Amino acid sequence: MRTKIMDVYDLLKAGDRFAFYVHAQGHSANHESRRLMYGWMDKWLKPMEATATRLVNLRIKPHHFLDIIADFGAGSRSFKPHAYGHAVHTVAERLLANRNIEIELVLGIDDICRPCKHHVGDTCDDTIDTSFRPEAPPSKEEWNKRIDRRWFERLGLKEGDRMTASEFCRIVREKMGGIYEIYREIPRQMTADRERNLLKGIAFYLNEPAGALGPLTASAACSRAGSATPSFS
Ligand code: SF4
């Protein structure tokens, strides 16, 4: 089938516009396939000016992205691999290396989760510490979706929306308002620290003076110790 289709493209002198990818994962549109498909569609079906920098490079949950930005705000500039094996450290490095990296917002498993030992099937099988948030669901999958749905609603965005990382930061700052309601199960003081770090992290990410490095906050110290403020839950 591949060669017959190629013949048609060659006949039309468009052989360079055909590609064939075998992912060997049955009847599915897996992550790699979707990236290639979106890239192909962007390249050939959209006007040049709309797509020049629009290839999706990172699929990420809103709260994962914002946790990294908040950690930037708390002074973190380098991240170590986590025992879970997730990709927070490499994603943070990619966000630092290219502030116009194209992201796609997702609700389920994202590029941080993909190599994590708790990524089982198409979900997260981990649980959260409910000792300081007794009204939160124990399932991390449920908790994350609850928080991300609230972020989507607050920001007027939805799953599948695409933009650059800097554009997302600007939208967040414009529309976030007070975030206590988004994290309503968590003690207010922890959310106050999160909000302050988030705003500072956005300023840092957008290369604004307010984002200059200052002393680390209690929140950052706690999250790195894996205690009070669970950054990547
Ligand atoms: S949400 Fe679950 S699968 Fe994703 S990084 Fe966290 S623990 Fe791992």
| Residues 25-53: tens digit of each pLDDT | 777 777 667 667 767 776 677 666 565 55
Nearest to 56 by CA among 162, 159, 161: 162
As a whole number of angstroms, the distance between CA 46 and CA 103 comes to 18
- For a mutational test of ligand 1's pocket, the pick from 59, 61, 65, 86, i.e. the residue with the most ligand atoms closer than 8 A to its C-beta, is 86
Q: Which residue did the predictor score with more confidence, 145 or 55?
A: 145
Higher pLDDT, 24 or 166: 166
pLDDT category at 6 given cuts 50, 70, 90 is confident
Look at residue 105 and tell me whether its pLDDT is greater than 80: yes
- Tell me the DSSP string of 78-133: --PPPTT--SHHHHHHHHHH-TT-EEEE-SSS-TTTTT-TTEETTEE--B---TT-
Segment among 30-44, 66-80, 87-101, 113-127 with least mean pLDDT: 30-44
- Picking from 21-35, 85-99, 120-134, 186-200, which range would have the lowest pLDDT averaged per residue? 21-35
Give percent of the chain with pLDDT exceeding 70: 78
pTM for this structure? 0.73
Distance CA 141, CA 83 (A): 19
* Dihedral (Cα; 82, 33, 172, 152), 10-degree rounding: -100
Ligand 1 centroid to 116 CA: how many Å?
6
> What order of strands is seen across the sheet that includes strand 162-164?
58-60, 102-105, 162-164
Q: Whose CA is nearest to atom 4 of ligand 1?
A: 113
Res 221 pLDDT > 50 = no
Q: How far is the CA of 166 from the centre of ligand 1 (A)?
A: 24
What integer is the mean pLDDT of 82-108?
95
pLDDT tens-digit profile of 153-203? 999 999 999 999 999 999 999 999 999 999 999 999 999 999 999 999 999
- Whether 126 is in the pocket of ligand 1, judged by its Cβ within 6 Å, is yes
Nearest CA to ligand 1 atom 5: 113
The first and second tokens of residue 147, run together, are: 């928080």
Cα 217 off chain centre by: 24
> Is a pLDDT exceeding 50 seen at residue 90?
yes
The response to whether residue 112 sits with its C-beta less than 6 Å from ligand 1 reads yes
pLDDT, residue 228, reads 33
Ligand 1 centre and the CA of 113: distance in Å? 5
- Per-residue confidence (pLDDT) for residue 223, from 0 to 100: 37
CA of 211 to the centre of ligand 1 (A): 28
User: Is the CB–ligand 1 distance for residue 86 below 6 Å?
Assistant: yes
Cα angle value 83/58/153 (rounded, 5°): 95
Determine whether the shortest distance from the Cβ of 140 to ligand 1 is under 6 A: yes
103 CB less than 6 Å from ligand 1? no
Q: Is the dihedral of CA 77, 78, 83, 84 positive or negative?
A: positive
Contact criterion met (CB below 8 Å) for 60 and 111: yes
Ligand 1 center–CA 9 separation, angstroms: 43
Ligand 1 lined by 119 (C-beta under 6 Å): yes
- State residue 26's pLDDT score: 75
Ligand 1 atom nearest the C-alpha of 86 is: 5
